[in-house]
Amino acid sequence: MMKAYIKHISYYLPENKFTNQDIENLFPEWNNDKIISKIGVKSRRIAGKDQKVSDMAIEAIQNLCSEFQINKSEIDYLIICTQSPDYFLPATACIVQNKAGLPTSCGAIDINQGCSGYIYGLTLAKGLIISKVAKNVVLVTSEMYSKHIHPLDKGNRSIFGDAATATLISDNGEYEIGEFSLGGDGSGCENLMIKNGGMQNDKTGDTSFPSDDYLFMNGPEIFKFTAKVVPDLIFGTLAKNNESLDSVDQFLFHQANTYMLKYLKKLIKIPDNKFIIDMEDYGNTVSSTIPISLKNLITNNNHKDKILIAGFGVGYSWGAVCLYKS
């Protein structure tokens, strides 16, 4: 039976750093100690004023190809996960295909999935490999939430950072992609939303705070949703893969904030040494959090035989899968 593997991962971080001291300078009441205790982030990278999601995506692909000597002509499918596309149309993936120098025989598609986007992207990539539609799929996550956030929104500015990643999925590689568990519940969509700017509501140009032109997040409701859904997601994924909390070597969740992560770890009863928290230098980079942390895990030679990765959030949507060292 055909199998699909994560072969390589690279990522790109914008040059601009936005530190807790920068935030404290803008909002003196919101100091470093509060940010560390509530969110667990020291600094985050922020895209330049003229930088676009496609620019970051291209940088991530270039890093992937140069780091692992990948011939671009062999990439035959490109998936870009982003909630900050360059345009309504065309797909950002088409722009990136051209500017990154990928062949015109390469399929190119966007998905808009947010915090669970890496998991959903892997489902599509695995399907393309197993069905033999493609041999080498590059899954890019490129997120630029900073441009969705109001300048006076100290909470969300403290949480979110910008980043792009590129993952090569093929019929051979470092980690076999196991069985997925997925879910969605659109009844909670308004708890993490930008209400204006699509076809439903035009942007108003309202620059006051708060404004429906910018990102809105109902933190308490998102927390309640996560606490309700994630334990079932984890145990369901373990069951699908014939695994247990004991048999899995590492659990890597979407890096939303450290308070939530520690709560989930305790709720599910995951041992400290099996649970990754890796966001203090990046912030919440949305769909890029899991591949960044996974790349770091692999680079640091902490090779684990079995890793469970899980994403959850905006939508609501959620998903998880087990990865097996080959």
Helix (H, G, I), strand (E, B) or coil at 120: helix
d(CA 311, CA 289): 9
Strand partners for 19: 43
| 94 assigned to active site | no
What's the one-letter identity of residue 137?
A: V
Q: Is the dihedral of CA 286, 289, 292, 294 positive or negative?
A: negative
Beta-sheet pairing, 250-253 with 216-217: unpaired
Among candidate residues 115, 148, 241, 322, the one labeled active-site is 115
d(CA 117, CA 80): 9
| 150 assigned to active site | no
d(CA 302, CA 201): 47
Q: Which residue bears the tokens 């014939």?
A: 242
The secondary element (H helix, E strand) that includes residue 309 is: strand 306-313
| 189 assigned to active site | no
Among candidate residues 20, 136, 156, 284, the one labeled active-site is 284
DSSP structure class, residue 76: -
All residues at 6 or more sequence positions from 161 whose CB lies less than 8 Å from its CB, including other chains: 18, 41, 44, 45, 46, 145, 146, 282, 283, 284, 285
Helix (H, G, I), strand (E, B) or coil at 172: coil
Helical residues (DSSP H) of the chain, grouped into ranges: 20-26, 32-38, 53-67, 92-99, 117-130, 154-159, 219-240, 258-268, 289-299
Among candidate residues 8, 20, 254, 322, the one labeled active-site is 254
Phi-psi region of 39 (alpha: psi -120 to 50; beta: other; left: phi over 0): alpha
| Residues that are catalytic | 115, 254, 284
